[in-house]
């Protein structure tokens, strides 16, 4: 990739944010809270300190930031967290953002959730124009589920999945592949997900944030899993790109789609089209780097969007080429101090 000066390009279809490597930024992930009702062992430590409420952006401020990105050519918005569906009045944000779907400025409004609150929110999400959602689920075994999430109840998530599919939402299951934990269950997970008409994406664990225990003990390279699955199933490569880093195959025997997100063994930074905003308004240009731009100060400094727009354009001009995660015995410290729940998955 060759670096070119970042710019705000104007095209016939509107504006687009272009980073120094010529990648158009069309996908924004927004974390609306750092809080979660689970404590997944690979994501958080059990005694997490959460941000004081006054530091969080209000729902109106989150809307303003999302809308500023949409005006600059972002076509896909993913609401995440923490657990986004535990934020009070979160449906107000989905409701207000849905105007960008109605106007045609946005192609997709979606959410990543642990599923615990879906039973009460699925219908409202669908009414706000959400069509597809990602639900994180690493195991189908209730005891293992409790052990991984520390606080979660599998039955509640299953109930949430029923509600989501009942409301017409297309569901993709995301599972983090964990050595010695769900390693032996991935075939079962695949058959279950595809049997219910849901795609499944497997994810490699990333060295984000201090956790109880060692990352290397959790890490399972997906290259190994793919080879194992290929011995049992016919995996047909697909060209499908959903604007994410997953590479997809069709599993001939089940007819379903299977994705692999491999930030550790093979990154796809060259096609990265996304940036992330945290619930305090920090804009991260890369999940795997420390550099961030503060959007909360410009939002709070003025009612017009001039300062905010400038801050966004300046930040995109600094988007790095990619991340350089390493997990091994010599690198026992996390690559980054912040947890996935801060930047949003
Ligand atoms: N609470 C929501 C959920 O569970 O989907 C959204 C936030 S959660 C941080 C988003 C995703 O990040 C989940 O699929 C979770 O499994 C994944 N995740 C968390 N920490 C991770 C890590 N260190 N490496 C890889 N994936 C991680």
User: What is the DSSP annotation of 171-189?
Assistant: EEEEEEEBTTTTGGGHHHH
| Alpha carbon of 235 to ligand 1 centroid (Å) | 26
- The finding on whether 112 has its CB within 6 A of some atom of ligand 1 is yes
| Alpha carbon of 202 to ligand 1 centroid (Å) | 12
Nearest residue (CA) to ligand 1, atom 12: 345
**CA–CA separation, 309 and 316 (whole Å):** 11
Region for residue 87 given its phi and psi (left: phi exceeds 0; alpha: psi -120 to 50; beta: otherwise):
beta
- The finding on whether 81 has its CB within 6 A of some atom of ligand 1 is yes
Atom of ligand 1 nearest to the CA of 211: 23
Best mutation site among 340, 342, 343 for ligand 1 pocket (most ligand atoms within 8 Å of CB): 340
| Alpha carbon of 148 to ligand 1 centroid (Å) | 12
Q: Are strands 235-237 and 247-251 parallel, antiparallel or unpaired?
A: antiparallel
- The finding on whether 43 has its CB within 6 A of some atom of ligand 1 is yes
**What pLDDT score was predicted for residue 258?**
98
Closest to 118 (Cα-Cα) out of 108, 126, 106? 126
Closest to 199 (Cα-Cα) out of 251, 243, 122? 251
**CA–CA separation, 102 and 98 (whole Å):** 6
Region for residue 331 given its phi and psi (left: phi exceeds 0; alpha: psi -120 to 50; beta: otherwise):
beta
Tell me the β-bridge partners of 203: 176, 261
**CA–CA separation, 204 and 335 (whole Å):** 15
- What are the C-alpha distances in Å from 37 to residues 61, 140, 186, 241? 24, 19, 25, 31
CA 105 to chain centre: 21
User: Which residue intervals of 202-245 are DSSP H helices?
Assistant: 222-232
- The finding on whether 345 has its CB within 6 A of some atom of ligand 1 is yes
- The finding on whether 83 has its CB within 6 A of some atom of ligand 1 is yes
| Alpha carbon of 166 to ligand 1 centroid (Å) | 25
Q: What are phi and psi of 86, to 5 degrees?
A: -95, -10
Q: What are phi and psi of 16, to 5 degrees?
A: -145, 145
DSSP 105: S
**What pLDDT score was predicted for residue 330?**
61
Atom of ligand 1 nearest to the CA of 36: 1
**What pLDDT score was predicted for residue 268?**
79
**CA–CA separation, 57 and 55 (whole Å):** 7
- The finding on whether 246 has its CB within 6 A of some atom of ligand 1 is no
| Alpha carbon of 182 to ligand 1 centroid (Å) | 15
Closest to 279 (Cα-Cα) out of 121, 79, 41? 79
Nearest residue (CA) to ligand 1, atom 20: 43
Nearest residue (CA) to ligand 1, atom 8: 345
- The finding on whether 80 has its CB within 6 A of some atom of ligand 1 is yes
Coil, strand or helix at 298: helix
Q: Could you say which residues of the chain have pLDDT below 50?
A: 1-2, 4-14
Atom of ligand 1 nearest to the CA of 206: 24
CA triple 127-132-134, angle to 5 deg:
120
Coil, strand or helix at 15: strand
Burial of 118 (0-12, 13-18, 19+ CB in 10 A): buried
| Alpha carbon of 341 to ligand 1 centroid (Å) | 7
């Amino acid at each position: 990739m060759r670096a070119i000066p970042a710019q705000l390009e104007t095209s016939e279809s509107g504006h687009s944010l272009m980073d120094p490597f010529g990648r158009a930024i069309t996908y924004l992930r927004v974390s609306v809270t750092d809080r979660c009702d689970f404590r997944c062992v690979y994501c958080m430590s059990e005694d997490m300190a959460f941000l004081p409420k006054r530091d969080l952006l209000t729902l109106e401020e989150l809307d303003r930031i999302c809308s500023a990105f949409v005006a600059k050519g972002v076509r896909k918005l993913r609401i995440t967290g923490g657990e986004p569906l535990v934020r009070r009045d979160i449906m107000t944000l989905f409701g207000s953002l849905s105007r960008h779907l109605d106007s045609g400025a946005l192609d997709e409004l979606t959410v990543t959730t642990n599923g615990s609150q879906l039973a009460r929110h699925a219908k409202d999400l669908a009414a706000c124009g959400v069509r597809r959602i990602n639900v994180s689920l690493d195991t189908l075994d209730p005891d293992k589920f409790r052990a991984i999430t520390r606080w979660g109840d599998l039955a509640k998530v299953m109930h949430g999945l029923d509600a989501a599919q009942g409301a017409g939402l297309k569901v993709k299951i995301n599972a983090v592949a964990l050595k010695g934990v769900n390693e032996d269950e991935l075939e079962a997970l695949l058959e279950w997900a595809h049997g219910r008409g849901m795609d499944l994406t497997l994810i490699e664990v990333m060295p984000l944030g201090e956790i109880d225990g060692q990352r290397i003990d959790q890490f399972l390279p997906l290259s190994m899993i793919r080879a194992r699955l290929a011995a049992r199933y016919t995996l047909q490569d697909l060209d499908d790109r959903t604007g994410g880093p997953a590479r997809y195959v069709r599993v001939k025997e089940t007819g379903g789609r299977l994705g692999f997100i491999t930030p550790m063994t093979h990154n796809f930074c060259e096609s990265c089209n996304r940036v992330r905003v945290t619930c305090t308004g920090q804009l991260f240009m890369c999940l795997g780097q420390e550099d961030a731009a503060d959007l909360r100060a410009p939002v709070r400094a003025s009612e017009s969007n001039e300062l905010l727009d400038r801050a966004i354009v300046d930040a995109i001009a600094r988007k790095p080429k990619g991340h350089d995660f390493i997990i091994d015995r010599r690198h026992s410290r996390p690559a980054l101090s912040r947890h996935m729940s801060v930047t949003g998955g």
